[in-house]
Amino acid sequence: MTNHKITGKQLESIFVLFLIGSTAITAVDRDAKQDSWISLLMSVIAALPLIALYVRLNKLYPGKNFFDILFSIFGGVVGRIIAIIFIVYVIRVGGILTWFFAQFVHVLGMVETPLYLTSAFIIMTGIWAAKNGPECIGRLSKFTLPIILFSIGITFIIAIKDMNFSYMKPVMETDFKSLLSGAFAYLMIPLGEIIICFSFLACADDKVNPSKIYLRSILLFFIFILVALLRNILVLGVPTTIMFYFPSYEAVSVISLGGFFTRIEVLIGINLLLAGFIKITACLYTASLGITKVINIQDQKKVAVPTGLLILASSQTQFKNTVEGLMFVKPYSVFVTLFEILLPLIVWAVAEFRAKINSTQTQATGLDSAE
């Protein structure tokens, strides 16, 4: 258990920013097209059992982070091996996110600046935040969330005059397989990735109700991604939306208010970088916490820099270009099922089994002492 405490609001802000981080910039699924909102709804419903699983794990092991649970359930050796695999996954997610955000800056703004430089700046700031502990990430998130939600809301309102509602038609024209594929992609990236934030629950205030926090976060994620998705499709139309790498940026770039309030796409850039920064920092914190547990040291801050360097190196070895990165989404969403569904399921099943054995033993000991 850690000494840092984060409030319910801060925890909720971390979860929401983690969820909307990378999705707010694309929002639309390339397979589900104008029916992306149905896929989004399906994914949110499908995420509910996963959330129930995380809440149950937290109830079985209150105040423990994911790595503590792994060690408690599987013991030192197997627990360490699973923890190392999970750390590699978290570092990889952090690397992909860093690459994505650096690519965003590179493609849309700083074309001559090497990707490495942008990535290094993001990671160094992330290291600073992770070194200051989860309470710092919580405070940053609580401060950042209203700005992001306001900018998504305001761009939607200003864009209403440029919207063509016929772009949403025909409704339900997409075949069921494509809808499912879209829902699966939303479920794995970003909904399933919320397992990375599980360790923040261990730092939360005792009054925090995890199920309430998870449900409110998912609801906010659904509302704001839906708003971004509708804005992109209604302003650009489906063919144009799926043509762009970063449709939210392009949709907002055509919005203007009275001829003087223009070029507000910078808001989307700020949005993405703020939310993305929190997401990368959450990955960095979780990975450094995991490394701390594996090598059995007390202070997570001491390994923040090496973890950040691993994420930086990982971001350098991702994709050759943006197209390759976008093509990677579908196979990647299948691959991460191992870490986002299978691993939590195994951990939960073994945890339940252990809890049952413990309760049986306690009952038996109680009976013996009574006799």
Partner 1 sequence: MDIIFVIVLLYVLLILFDLIPSIREKNKKVLLLSIPIYVFTFAIIMMENLGADLSYINGFIVDIVNSMFHITK
In the bound complex, what is the minimum distance in angstroms from residue 305's beta carbon to partner 1?
Answer: 4
Given the rule CB under 8 A, which of 158-166, 170-178, 256-264, 297-305 is the region that contacts partner 1? 297-305
Near partner 1 by CB under 8 A: residue from 305, 341, 350, 355: 305
- Which lies closer to partner 1 via its Cβ, residue 45 or residue 124? 124
User: Of these, 48, 84, 117, 157, which contacts partner 1 (CB under 8 A)?
Assistant: 117
Interacting span for partner 1 (CB under 8 A) from 68-76, 113-121, 147-155, 344-352: 113-121
| Residue among 180, 237, 335, 354 that touches partner 1 (CB under 8 A) | 335
CA pair distance 277, 252, nearest whole angstrom: 21
Given candidates 297, 342, 349, 357, which one binds partner 1 under the rule CB under 8 A? 297
CB of 297 to partner 1, least distance (A): 5
Any residues with CB less than 8 A from the CB of 46 and at least 6 apart, and which? 183, 187, 191
**Cβ proximity of 341 and 51 under 8 Å:** no
Please say which residue, 4 or 302, places its beta carbon nearer to partner 1.
302
CA distance 57 to 252: 41
SS (H, E, C) the chain: CCCCCECHHHHHHHHHHHHHHHHHHHCCCCCCHHHHHHHHHHHHHHHHHHHHHHHHHHHHCCCCCHHHHHHHHHHHHHHHHHHHHHHHHHHHHHHHHHHHHHHHHHHHCCCCCCHHHHHHHHHHHHHHHHHCCHHHHHHHHHHHHHHHHHHHHHHHHHHHHHCCHHHHCCCCCCCHHHHHHHHHHHHHCCHHHHHHHHHHHCCECCCCCHHHHHHHHHHHHHHHHHHHHHHHHHHHCHHHHHHCCCHHHHHHHCCCECCCECCCHHHHHHHHHHHHHHHHHHHHHHHHHHHHHHCCCCCHHHHHHHHHHHHHHHHHCCCCCHHHHHHCHHHHHHHCHHHHHHHHHHHHHHHHHHHHHHHHHHHHHHHHHHC
**Binder of partner 1 out of 85, 110, 172, 313 (CB under 8 A):** 313
Does 150 help bind partner 1 (rule: CB under 8 A)?
Answer: no
When binding is defined by CB under 8 A, the residue of 328, 341, 350, 355 that contacts partner 1 is: 328
128 binds partner 1 (CB under 8 A): no
Identity of the residue, 232 or 315, whose beta carbon is nearer to partner 1 in the bound complex:
315
Q: Does 114 bind partner 1 (CB under 8 A)?
A: yes
Binding-site residue total for partner 1 (CB under 8 A)?
Answer: 30
Residue 36: CB minimum distance to partner 1, A: 19
Site for partner 1 in 277-296 (CB under 8 A): 291, 295-296
Binding of residue 245 to partner 1 (CB under 8 A): no
Mark residues 72-111: x for contact with partner 1 by CB under 8 A, - for none. Answer: ----------------------------------------
Nearer to partner 1, 6 or 188 (CB): 188
Are the C-beta atoms of residues 82 and 343 closer than 8 Å to each other? yes
Residue range at the interface with partner 1 (CB under 8 A); choices 66-74, 250-258, 331-339, 355-363: 331-339
Q: Is 177 in the site for partner 1 (CB under 8 A)?
A: no
Binding residues (CB under 8 A) for partner 1: these are: 114, 116-117, 120, 124, 291, 295-297, 302-303, 305-306, 309-310, 312-313, 316-320, 324, 327-328, 330-332, 334-335
